[in-house]
Chains A and B, each alone.
Chain A
């Protein structure tokens, strides 16, 4: 069974440019998460989806970040315009969402460098 797929794995852009990340969760997983991870830190939640509904986007900087999960399957996270401080690893995770102890499965992440 394929795990969580993310692309691209690496992205280098200049500041003020737009960038988009794509995530395909494990088949059948209703819950999808986007996290930001800075070097030496734990992941920080940006947004959580239950199917196509964003149920927690309180930590998403909405002035420049946006996300969508139109059909409740794959998802896109966008930054426009990117700033130097956005350089980080962006992780996508998914879970079945059926119990409080269900496991979150993480993708390999997209490492973003903003120059």
Chain B
């Protein structure tokens, strides 16, 4: 079954600290993996998209990694800011059915 699992479910960190969010997937055949940021009351916003051949991709203070062999991805946030408080959703696209499989997200709270 195509699934995307994220950990931790929730996380609280102090402003200025770094954190890493994890994503494991069983989606096959794999097309690409995306990380989205969703602020409360808003729709998700794309942070990164990585294909099979990409190991890492950055977007400002956000750096995503992908290990297609172990089917794992991580999102690293550097020097966190209060505005980073949001849910971060890992999404994997399935080549065969052109479907996006969404994880349940990690809820991050950056505390002053």
- Taking beta carbons and an 8 Å cutoff, which residues of A are in contact with B? 4, 40-45, 56, 91, 93, 100-101, 103-109, 111
Contacts and interface: CB of A to CB of B under 8 A. Distances in A.
A30 B69 CA distance: 33
A42 B32 contact: no
Interface residues of B, number: 24
B70 to A, nearest CB: 22
Contact of A108 (B41, B46, B49, B107): B41
Contact of B102 (A44, A101, A111): A44
Contacts of A108: 41-43
A42 B46 contact: no
14 contacts: A42-B4, A42-B89, A43-B44, A43-B89, A45-B99, A56-B99, A100-B31, A100-B93, A100-B95, A104-B100, A108-B41, A108-B42, A109-B41, A109-B42
Interface of B: 4, 31-32, 41-46, 49, 51, 89, 91, 93, 95, 97-100, 102-105, 107
B48 to A, nearest CB: 10
A40 B104 contact: yes
Contacts of B41: 108-109, 111
A45 B44 CA distance: 14
Nearest to B91: A42
Contacts of B49: 101, 103
B51 A42 contact: no
Nearest to B9: A40
Contact of B46 (A91, A104, A111): A104
A93 B107 CA distance: 22
A45 B51 CA distance: 22
Contacts of A40: 104-105, 107
Given A56-B99, A100-B31, A100-B32, A42 B42 contact: no
